[in-house]
Structure 1
Amino acid sequence: MSEKDQEVNQADSSFESSSENINRYEGTQAHEEGIHKVVSKLEEGAGSLGPLEQPYDLVKVETHPDPNTTYNPEDPWNYPIDKETGLRIVEFVQDDKKNPKNMSTAHKWLITCILGLICFIVALGSAIVTGDIAGPAEYFEVSEEVIILSEVTVFVIGFGVGPLFVAGLSEELGRNAVYFPTLVLAVIFVIPCALANNIATMLICRLLDGIFFSAPMTLIGGSLADIWDAKDRGKAMSVFSAAPFIGPVMGPIFGGLLDSGKKVKDVIAIRDPT
């Protein structure tokens, strides 16, 4: 091979190497530009959507040194800590006087019997008016079907409407904060039933009575769960469970006996106002 041919080959090799370097450089530049675009998009997204992780809460770390422990050693009440959130779970301590489950057994049974009696009276009131339907129908000059509607049906409808409100309120405000006002209002609305001169008054007031009287029927189960441990709750719940069944059975009997003695006003004053 002549010297001229060798020079041509060397020139071709140099040209190919230069082309490869240029292509490699362009590829590197394109790669860097792509990375820059990706980073820019991520930064824009982080700016609009916020940080991907929550900032480290130093205050929480100081107050809860180890969220995986069962108790916070810095807490004088020794409340347990939720392992997932690190938040303190406030609960009754042992032998806490304000814990209703620490009341004496006699006190618990007194409350249970009172609540059961209230439940029985409410259930009795829902059916006591059925002892005599003809008397009120004659007085109000309506059919017996209308009397059943105004004295029984709307009262039971109130039983279904009331719990939608009183159940949630009792969890937020406490049991007593719901028991007392609802029972007082229920008794107040018995008065216009006693003085009703038309069927519309009877219908509206019986509906309101059903709504307010639904509170004890709804909350007694929760109240018993508040004061009794699970292993001792069975007998107490049997008292509560029996009351709603015995009341409607005894109601017509009492109502019929009172009506037979011409003491219609004694039937909780909601029958024949004459």
Structure 2
Amino acid sequence: MAEPLHQLPSRSQVEPSTVQDSRRTSLPTSASSVPDPQRNSLVLETDATNDAEKFAFNNDVEKNASPVSTLGEEEVRMGDIAEATDPNIVWWDGEADPENPMNWPTYKRWGTVAVVSAITFLTPLASSSFAPGIPKIMEEFGSTDNMLEGFMLSVYVLGFAFGPLIIAPLSEMFGRLPLYHSCNCLFIIFSIAAAVSTNLTMFIIFRFFMGCFGGGPIVLGGGTIADLISREQRGTAMAVWMMGPTIGPCIGPVIGGFLTEARGWRWNFWLVAILAGAFFIASIILMRETSASIILERKAKRLRASTGNPKLRSKLDSGLSPRDLFMFSIVRPTKMLTRSTICFCMSLYIAITYAYLYILFTTFTAVFTNQYNWRGGVVGLSFLGLGVGSFLGQMVFTYYGNKTAAKHHRLGDFKPEHRLYVMAAGGFFLPIGLFWYGWSVQAQTHYMVPIIGTGFVGLGLLMTFMAATTYLVDVFTIHAASAMAASTVLRSLMAALIPLSSQKMYAALDYGWGNSLLGFVSLLLVPIPFLFIKYGERIRARSTVKL
């Protein structure tokens, strides 16, 4: 028999959001024990008309990350006492339970973050590393279609949009670790397949599947960080992890330009496969399951076997069958995107800025070849401005984001909206960079002038992208993987489809007005973080999103 009084955590055991999130997922034992819906707890509803879905679990996700300090001390204490009335609930064994990922040794927690960050860095890098070699691929496969030329690059990102729809719900069912391993393995297989492609159709199909499985770490990484790292240190962890989706695509063409010139375009994919193989081996050796729901379910299974009590269940057990859990999980990202104001607005901001990144990727080679007569591997250096700007943006976010979070933690009034101060400032750099880059290219100024302009684009992109992503993780916490899936799907669709028309846009408007159009759109997005800084907490408090 489990010992629930010893398994219930004290308020200091885990970070406040984890305590409250875990309380929300506890299953009430009777009608009288159902908490007030305003406290966001799960509500048990009997549906007499549908035996296949006996229970519907409603969770107000936008309030998941509200600090416990916003609740009364007596309310928190009474919530813990109510949970203790069910002797069959399985939870952590005290404050220092070594099974709790939050209690793992520092080297183990940050080692896991490092491995996940390395894998996440490689997969977006693979999206653009062969960009300087696209003309050679088109020549080898005998194609002159400009749209197809852009689609070869963006089809990888299109895979990012479809993979997460399956990866996120599967991770809810089986945990994060099996999904990391299977996605890494399949990514290696399709990277090799792309390297040995014999025609353009094969190449595009294999690139698509590379993107589908390469998106796994991007979807799962935010959840892994939420599993392991406390709010005080989460900004640093997110900064390291987000280097992949933001800086990786900028560095890829620099490497790919010289590699294509030296060994041919196929070696871009051989290099990716080799590095992915090394990271795959490292992940098998070093990574362990971090999902609290999976760890607690395994613990409950062991206790059921050892005590003979079949009623023991994890505190995070939804009570759903695997099929129903999959169906609920697979629609969760779509619900978040379409019904959550916070998720939609932040994902839209991220998607537009990410689409701009790939517009530049698909046109840099043509711009610096035609306007500045760059040739060979040197063309890859045109991406350096974005890379340097992105790195500086990462440093700014890490320093000021952590400083702001630490300040409010000391004051005891931290809320997710404090992540958005950096985003509010970064929003101005993106239009500045686009105007600068577009008009300097059109005027054919010295090549360093537009490259500096792209540096401002990278700076603004990182400051907005990372702050918005960290904000989503802080807000949704236990559903961070689904929030990341929702954001990834929208940004990947826009990054895959919008750049296909970039050549026509520049042909009609030229580089000056073409990039100015993008800059004006980004200016319209600038108020979003300011609005959420002021009204975000109120929006979360009034949210009616049910999952």
TM class by shorter chain equals 0.5 to 0.7
Residues 264 and 129 of structure 1: CA distance in aligned 2, closer, same or farther (over 3 Å): closer
Counterpart of 2:178 in structure 1 is 177
Superposition map of 1:138-149 within 5 A: 138-143=139-144, 144-149=146-151
Counterpart of 1:204 in structure 2 is 205
Residues 113 and 75 of structure 1: CA distance in aligned 2, closer, same or farther (over 3 Å): closer
Residues 96 and 182 of structure 1: CA distance in aligned 2, closer, same or farther (over 3 Å): same
Q: Report which of the two has the higher share of helix.
A: 2
What is the DSSP-based 3-state SS (H/G/I as helix, E as strand, rest coil) of the residue aligned with 1:97?
coil
Counterpart of 2:90 in structure 1 is 90
Q: TM-score if structure 1 supplies the norm length?
A: 0.66
Residues 115 and 153 of structure 1: CA distance in aligned 2, closer, same or farther (over 3 Å): same
The AA in structure 2 aligned to 1:202 is F
Counterpart of 2:236 in structure 1 is 235
The answer to whether the 8 A contact 1:194-1:270 is kept is no
Counterpart of 2:218 in structure 1 is 217
Counterpart of 2:262 in structure 1 is 261
Counterpart of 1:153 in structure 2 is 154
The AA in structure 2 aligned to 1:169 is L
**How far did 1:76 drift?**
6.0
**Offset from partner CA, 1:82-124 (integer Å, 9 cap, x none):** 5327655533232112111111112222111111111110110
**Offset from partner CA, 1:12-54 (integer Å, 9 cap, x none):** xxxxxxxxxxxxxxxxxxxxxxxxxxxxxxxxxxxxxxxxxxx
**Offset from partner CA, 1:127-155 (integer Å, 9 cap, x none):** 001022110001000125323313x2211
Equivalences, count: 199
Alpha-carbon distance between aligned partners in 2 of 1:91 and 1:75, rounded to the nearest angstrom = 7
Alpha-carbon distance between aligned partners in 2 of 1:167 and 1:110, rounded to the nearest angstrom = 23
The answer to whether the 8 A contact 2:124-2:244 is kept is yes
**Offset from partner CA, 1:175-205 (integer Å, 9 cap, x none):** 0011101110111111221111111111111
Counterpart of 1:42 in structure 2 is none
Counterpart of 1:32 in structure 2 is none
**How far did 1:236 drift?**
0.7
Superposition map of 1:42-191 within 5 A: 75=4, 77-79=6-8, 82=28, 83-84=33-34, 87=86, 89-93=89-93, 94-143=95-144, 144-150=146-152, 152-191=153-192
The answer to whether the 8 A contact 1:119-1:240 is kept is yes
The answer to whether the 8 A contact 1:183-1:212 is kept is yes
Alpha-carbon distance between aligned partners in 1 of 2:121 and 2:204, rounded to the nearest angstrom = 22
**How far did 1:168 drift?**
1.1
Alignment RMSD (CA, Å): 2.5
Deviates more, 1:137-146 or 1:84-93: 84-93
The answer to whether the 8 A contact 1:163-1:215 is kept is yes
The AA in structure 1 aligned to 2:147 is E
**How far did 1:231 drift?**
2.2
Alpha-carbon distance between aligned partners in 2 of 1:241 and 1:193, rounded to the nearest angstrom = 26
Alpha-carbon distance between aligned partners in 2 of 1:105 and 1:270, rounded to the nearest angstrom = 32
The answer to whether the 8 A contact 2:259-2:268 is kept is yes
Alpha-carbon distance between aligned partners in 2 of 1:268 and 1:124, rounded to the nearest angstrom = 11
What is the DSSP-based 3-state SS (H/G/I as helix, E as strand, rest coil) of the residue aligned with 1:132?
helix
**How far did 1:249 drift?**
0.5
**How far did 1:78 drift?**
4.5
Counting aligned pairs with the same residue, the percent is 31
The AA in structure 2 aligned to 1:146 is L
Alpha-carbon distance between aligned partners in 2 of 1:89 and 1:202, rounded to the nearest angstrom = 51
Unmatched 5+ residue regions in structure 2? 10-25, 35-43, 45-84, 273-547
Alpha-carbon distance between aligned partners in 2 of 1:156 and 1:172, rounded to the nearest angstrom = 25
The answer to whether the 8 A contact 1:190-1:270 is kept is no
What is the DSSP-based 3-state SS (H/G/I as helix, E as strand, rest coil) of the residue aligned with 1:163?
helix
Alpha-carbon distance between aligned partners in 2 of 1:200 and 1:263, rounded to the nearest angstrom = 19
**How far did 1:242 drift?**
2.5
Counterpart of 2:385 in structure 1 is none
The AA in structure 2 aligned to 1:101 is M
What is the DSSP-based 3-state SS (H/G/I as helix, E as strand, rest coil) of the residue aligned with 1:203?
helix
What is the DSSP-based 3-state SS (H/G/I as helix, E as strand, rest coil) of the residue aligned with 1:162?
helix
Alpha-carbon distance between aligned partners in 1 of 2:134 and 2:237, rounded to the nearest angstrom = 36
Larger Rg: 1
Q: TM-score if structure 2 supplies the norm length?
A: 0.34
What is the DSSP-based 3-state SS (H/G/I as helix, E as strand, rest coil) of the residue aligned with 2:269?
coil
The AA in structure 1 aligned to 2:101 is P
Unmatched 5+ residue regions in structure 1? 1-62, 64-71
Alpha-carbon distance between aligned partners in 1 of 2:8 and 2:108, rounded to the nearest angstrom = 28
